[in-house]
């Protein structure tokens, strides 16, 4: 009886450790948003340089996405996730001891390289250890856990930074990565021993390049990836970097209050991701949720940025925005269905790469727009940007939602069925 219970729990434990890595990498990803002024002071830089520092994480993350998918399809997630969790930890420790912006950039690059494996590895574990009929739910749960990591990386991390400083906070993040590396190495396996045919290495009959060719030659891979990029852009640019500073200046709240409010985006993701995945699986439709995500994201962003509402209403809108931004999770589910099963990891990596590359590019672009609108005022050793500066720079984000809605028209409805060709 005990062995039967262990067998039933093991898929959740194994997938859960992969998802925990994804959870923790969001600590490193969003850290600059609550350390913005500390980092500008520590490295004597402006908003553009800060945006570039934050984006270095994504340069490695983006460039590794297709190789990650191919490596996951070929070799499996166990050893890859163990090794890259260690790399993330080393990057976090290095960042904590950085005294120059150049070295900090390199450490962000290192963290981005390791973090690139977390999401696709978690989805690959879900595709191996769970039936295909539950993949939409598992994709939503995986994304939700990452978003909860981002949520705790906002408000609670702001408290840690306030009380202990940004360097000690980064050291704590490094310790978390090292603990996860040990747990993943000891517990995670690439396939159930009772179902060896489900081993990731089913793609051993296919070369890495042939798998990539299959994905890239499919027009739907590109259309779906572009949709994911447009819809996720504002979460990456606003939620992961500039949102905290915008709320501080536009609504005159302190950094902890602003970070807690931004954290509601990711808590909304935590609720909406699994719910959207479950409902999509239940009705066997993907596209209605893709349309709804883009439309509601546009409405919420316009109200938050330009309506000057009471801050309690802003709290509510940030949560609703996060809850409905989960069309990105549906795009990942679509990615697993529009190409053959042995190419699922590569296909999901392409969609994830697009979602991150757009958001990463908008972080320094928005920083540059802030610099262009800057009056030259310095406050407490760092450049001061007004609410009007932020509103002018952030106009690009609702435009992304509108483009995402248009792109969704060209995505094929899969009816939650995997491609057989």
d(CA 267, CA 221): 29
pLDDT tens for 382-404 read: 677 888 888 988 888 899 899 99
Q: Residue 379 forms beta bridges with which residues?
A: 382
Range with top average pLDDT, 54-63, 226-235, 309-318? 309-318
Residue 127 burial (C-beta neighbours within 10 Å; 0-12, 13-18, 19+): buried
pLDDT of the residue at 1 = 44
By DSSP bridging, strand 382-383 and strand 378-379 are antiparallel
Q: Which of the two residues, 414 and 122, has the higher pLDDT score?
A: 122
Burial of 201 (0-12, 13-18, 19+ CB in 10 A): middle
Question: What is the pLDDT of the chain when averaged over all its residues?
Answer: 83
Q: Which two tokens stand for residue 8?
A: 């039933």
Tell me what pLDDT residue 206 has. 56
**Neighbouring residues of 16: CB distance < 8 A, sequence distance ≥ 6:** none
How would you write the chain as a 3-class SS string?
Answer: CHHHHHHHHHHHHHHHHHHHHHHHHHHHHHHHHHCHHHHHHHHCCCHHHHHHHHHHHHHHHHHHHHHHHHHHHHHCHHHHHHHHHHHHHHHHHHHHCCCCHHHHHHHHHHHHHHHHHHHHHHHHHHHHHCCHHHHHHHHHHHHHHHHHHHHHCCHHHHHHHHHHCHHHHHHHHHHHHHHHHHHHHHHCCCCCCCCHHHCHHHHHHCCHHHHHHHHHCCHHHHHHHHHHHHHHHHHHHHHHHHHHHHHHHHHCCCHHHHHHHHHHHHHHHHHHHHHHHHHHHHHCCCHHHHHHHHHHHHHHHHHHHHCCCCHHHHHHHHHHHHHHCCHHHHHHHHHHHCCCHHHHHHHHHHHHHHHHHHHHHHHHHHHHHHHHHCCCCEECCEECCCHHHHHHHCCHHHHHHHHHHHHHCCCCCCCCCCCCC
pLDDT in tens, 204-213: 555 667 777 8
pLDDT classification of 73: cutoffs 50, 70, 90: confident
Residue 415: pLDDT band by 50, 70, 90 thresholds? Answer: confident
The predicted pLDDT at position 419 comes to: 63
pLDDT digits (tens, 9 = 90+) for 160-177: 888 888 889 999 999 999
Confidence of residue 197 (pLDDT cuts 50, 70, 90): very low
Give the pLDDT score at 131: 78
Taking residue 196's Cβ as centre, other Cβ atoms within 10 Å add up to 11
Cα angle: 321, vertex 325, 327; to 5 degrees: 155
User: Among residues of the chain, what percentage have pLDDT more than 90?
Assistant: 24
Q: Which of 161, 396, 142, 365 is nearest to 259 (CA)?
A: 161
Higher pLDDT, 350 or 96: 96
Per-residue model confidence (pLDDT) at position 313: 94
pLDDT digits (tens, 9 = 90+) for 353-377: 777 777 778 878 888 888 887 777 7
pTM of the shown model: 0.71
The pLDDT assigned to 4 comes to 44
pLDDT in tens, 12-48: 888 989 999 999 998 888 888 778 778 888 887 777 7
Predicted confidence at residue 202, as pLDDT, reads 44
Which pLDDT score is estimated for 412? 86
């Amino acid at each position: 009886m005990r062995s039967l219970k262990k067998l039933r729990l093991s898929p959740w434990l194994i997938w859960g450790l992969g998802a925990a890595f994804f959870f923790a990498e969001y600590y490193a990803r969003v850290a600059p948003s609550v350390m913005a002024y500390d980092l500008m002071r520590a490295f004597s830089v402006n908003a553009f340089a800060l945006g570039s520092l934050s984006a270095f994480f994504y340069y490695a993350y983006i460039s590794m996405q297709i190789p990650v998918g191919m490596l996951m399809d070929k070799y499996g997630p166990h050893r890859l996730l163990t090794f890259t969790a260690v790399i993330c930890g080393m990057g976090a420790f290095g960042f904590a001891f950085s005294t120059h912006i150049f070295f900090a950039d390199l450490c962000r690059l290192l963290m981005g390289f390791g973090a690139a494996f977390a999401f696709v590895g978690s989805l690959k574990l879900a595709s191996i250890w769970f039936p295909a009929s539950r993949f939409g739910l598992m994709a939503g749960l995986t994304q939700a856990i990452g978003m909860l990591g981002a949520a705790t990386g906002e408000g609670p991390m702001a408290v840690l930074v306030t009380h202990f400083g940004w360097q000690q906070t980064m050291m704590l993040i490094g310790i978390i990565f090292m603990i996860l590396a040990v747990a993943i190495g000891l517990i995670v396996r690439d396939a159930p021993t009772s179902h060896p045919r489900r081993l990731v290495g089913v793609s051993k009959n296919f070369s890495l390049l042939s798998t990539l060719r299959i994905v890239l030659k499919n027009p739907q891979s590109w259309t779906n990836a572009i949709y994911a990029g447009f819809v996720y852009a504002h979460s990456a640019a606003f939620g992961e970097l500039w949102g905290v500073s915008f709320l501080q200046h536009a609504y005159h709240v302190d950094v902890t209050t602003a970070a807690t409010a931004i954290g509601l985006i990711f808590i909304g993701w935590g609720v909406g991701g699994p719910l959207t995945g479950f409902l999509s699986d239940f009705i066997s439709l993907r596209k209605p949720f893709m349309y709804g995500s883009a439309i509601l994201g546009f409405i919420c962003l316009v109200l938050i940025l330009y309506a000057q509402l009471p801050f309690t209403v802003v709290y509510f809108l940030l949560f609703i925005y996060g809850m409905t931004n989960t069309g990105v999770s549906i795009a990942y589910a679509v990615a697993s269905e529009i190409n053959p099963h042995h190419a699922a990891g590569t296909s999901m990596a392409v969609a994830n790469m697009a979602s991150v590359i757009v958001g990463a590019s908008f972080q320094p672009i928005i920083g540059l727009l802030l610099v262009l609108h800057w009056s030259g005022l310095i406050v407490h050793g760092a450049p001061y940007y007004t609410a009007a500066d932020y509103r002018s720079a952030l106009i690009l984000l609702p435009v992304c939602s509108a483009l995402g809605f248009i792109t969704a028209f060209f995505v094929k409805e899969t009816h939650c069925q995997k491609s057989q060709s």
